[in-house]
Structure 1
Amino acid sequence: MTEAEIAAAAEILTQARRNGTQIDGLPVTPSSVAEGHAIQDRVAALLGEPIGAFKASAPPDGEPTRGLIEARMVRTSPARMLVSEAPHCGVEGETAFRFTRDLPERSEPYSRKEVAAAVSVLPVIEVVSGRFREPLARPKLEQLADGGINAGLVIGPETADWSHLDLANLRMTFIVNGEVLIEREGGHPTDDPIAGAVALANMMPGGVKAGQIVTTGSWTGLPFLQPGDRCIVRFEGLGEAEVVFDG
């Protein structure tokens, strides 16, 4: 993409966010992760909203990616999310990390040990909804440009000392409208939840700030719910997060 194409894509996504409208797609699809991230960053600059959280993916055989989540869309459980804020009503039960101190950008990558010592852990529900009418039908790099089709994050209780927990093998229960849909041990897509936090600390321009949160991959797949539905994700040893979609 040219700089003009990146700017045009960012302007389209910014207007969709501001107006609560949906679009069919971008005029030009990003051709790289870097271009998708560049569009995200341009949108954030145009909106001028503080960033409270991120979503991050660190696939073992692929390029790390991240999405920006506005601070106003980070809600404390139990939370209510308006359907107008998240019209697709997608949910992903995840484990996330809050940075307890700044990790500024530097030339030497942060190690796993350094990042683990600088985070607490918490259960979350990532609320998924894009600016595209059919977000999953768009190319992956268009989804990335749209913040990874993120609409918000619902956060549960925070655990500062999690050294005794085997994060990759926690027992997770996923409940919708009182019905247990999933109950199992483990389920993170890479079996390494903190890898996303390490990747984010090393890829985010300017680094990350104390208080910001990063969520690192769905344990539950991506079900799409309906207005009025109540969703709970519970991790043994961490607690739970809950969201209700208000129509």
Structure 2
Amino acid sequence: MSQNTLTAERESHLRSLADLLLDARRTGKTIDALPDHLVPSSMEEAYFVQDEMMAAYGDVGGYKVGAASPDAEPFFAPMPLIWMAASGSTLINPMHRLRILEGEIAFHFAKDLPARAERYTNEEIAAAISSAHVIIEVLESAYTEPGKHPRLAVSADMQFHGAFVHGPAIENWQSVDWAQESVELVVDGVIRVERTGSNPGGTDLMRLLSWVVNEGAKRTGGIRAGQWITTGSWTGNTPTTPGAEAAVRFTSSGSVKLSFAS
């Protein structure tokens, strides 16, 4: 990740984009199109917008990380603490418009991992983790039709994040063979997705955690006790509807469920 190389004029444009995205998410008046000068041209610019938005949402509850392939450089975004809930919750916020679901594995940290010059080893990272959990990430967007916008514009919008719902702690998570782990996503009693070892970023989840803890620290300042890192979708993107009830179930890792208000 590069250090900030943005000009004052460019930062001003990107702050204008952050304001537009925040307003769209708060009011539900979504964005049909962006003027060209507000479209981010790099991940550095997208991250700048994410961080401007996050400042408006308050405390950081954690980070979502993913990668296009097991060898690709990961990308990540902050998750507001106020958008987090426990399994069984009913999501009533009117911001839930798209209601797109992803089943993931997330890790909760019990110890701080402050930024430092020396890389944290996998063993040090594992020792800082209190528990692992099955979670549902709800995807939402400030854009009327996110698929019609440039990828970096969507990344800037909190990387599509809308909510985080976690299940109970996974027993003996350190012994889970993620490559053999299967998952199903169920909506209103119907299995919509069934897959095995299906995280696009790979089933070496420690690689993704290490990237946020180490390379990501240039931006985050380090991971703090009580924060989460969720490590990418195993189920793809599944849209639902008002009033829907959904669950994600992993073979040996447990399950999580949520519902949407009608």
Q: TM-score, normalised by structure 1?
A: 0.92
In the alignment, which residue of structure 2 is the partner of 1:245? Answer: 260
Alpha-carbon separation, structure 2, partners of 1:60 and 1:182? 21
Question: Is the aligned partner of 1:57 residue 2:66?
Answer: yes
Larger CA deviation: 215-224 vs 199-208: 199-208
Contact 2:184 2:235 in 1 (8 A): no
Bigger shift: 91-100 or 202-211? 202-211
Which residue of 2 is the match for residue 217 of structure 1?
232
Find the counterpart in structure 2 of residue 193 from structure 1.
205
User: In the aligned structure 1, how far is the partner of 2:111 from the partner of 2:226?
Assistant: 7
Question: SS state of the match for residue 173, structure 1?
Answer: strand
**Is residue 90 of structure 2 the alignment partner of residue 70 of structure 1?**
no
Q: Secondary structure at the match of 1:86?
A: coil
**Does the Cα contact within 8 Å between 1:93 and 1:126 map onto a contact in 2?**
yes
Per the TM alignment, residue 17 of structure 1 is displaced from its structure 2 partner at its CA by 3.0
After TM superposition, the structure 1 stretch with the greater mean CA deviation from structure 2, 78-87 or 225-234, is 78-87
Whole-angstrom distance in 2 between the partners of 1:56 and 1:19? 27
Deviates more, 1:36-45 or 1:11-20: 11-20
Matches within 5 A, 1:53-132: 53-58=62-67, 59-82=69-92, 84-119=94-129, 120-132=131-143
Q: Hey, which of these two has a bigger chunk of helix by percent?
A: 2
SS in 2 for 1:163: helix
Contact 2:63 2:78 in 1 (8 A): yes
Residue of structure 1 equivalent to 2:160: 149
Kept in 2, the 8 Å contact 1:169–1:187? The answer is no
Distance 1:139 1:111, change over 3 A: farther
Cα deviation, residue 83, structure 1: 6.1
SS in 1 for 2:46: helix
Corresponding residue SS for 2:45: helix
For residues 48 and 182 of structure 1, what CA distance do their matches in structure 2 show? 32
The residue aligned with 2:242 is 227
For the residue of structure 1 that corresponds to 2:15, the secondary structure is: helix
Give me the whole-angstrom Cα distance separating, in 2, the residues matched to 1:18 and 1:201: 31
Deviation at 1:139, TM superposition (A): 1.4
Gaps of 5+ in 1: none
- Percent of paired sites with the same residue: 35
Give unpaired runs (5+ residues) of structure 2: 1-5
CA contact (8 A) 2:53 2:158 kept: no
Give secondary structure in 1 for the equivalent of 2:112. Answer: coil
Query: Deviations 1:13-57 (Å, cap 9, x if unpaired)?
Result: 222233343112443211111111111111122x15111122112
Distance (Å, rounded) in 2 between the aligned partners of 1:95 and 1:35: 28
Shift of 1:81: 1.4
Provide the TM-score with structure 2 as the length reference: 0.87
Q: Distance in 1 between matches of 2:20 and 2:171?
A: 40
CA contact (8 A) 1:196 1:215 kept: no
Distance of 1:32 and 1:109 partners within structure 2: 26
CA offset at residue 63 of structure 1?
Answer: 3.1
User: For 1:98-138, what per-residue CA distance to the aligned partner results, in whole angstroms no more than 9, with x for missing partners?
Assistant: 11211111122223332222222100000001111111222
Q: What amino acid is the match of 2:66?
A: S
What is the deviation of 1:71? 0.8
Q: How many residues align?
A: 246
Q: Name the CA distance, whole Å, in 1 between partners of 2:107 and 2:85.
A: 15
Q: How far did residue 220 of structure 1 move?
A: 0.7
- Note if contact 1:193-1:217 (Cα within 8 Å) is conserved in structure 2: no
CA distance in 2, matches of 1:25, 1:51: 29
Instruction: Report the equivalent of 2:19.
Output: 11
Matches within 5 A, 1:135-146: 135-146=146-157
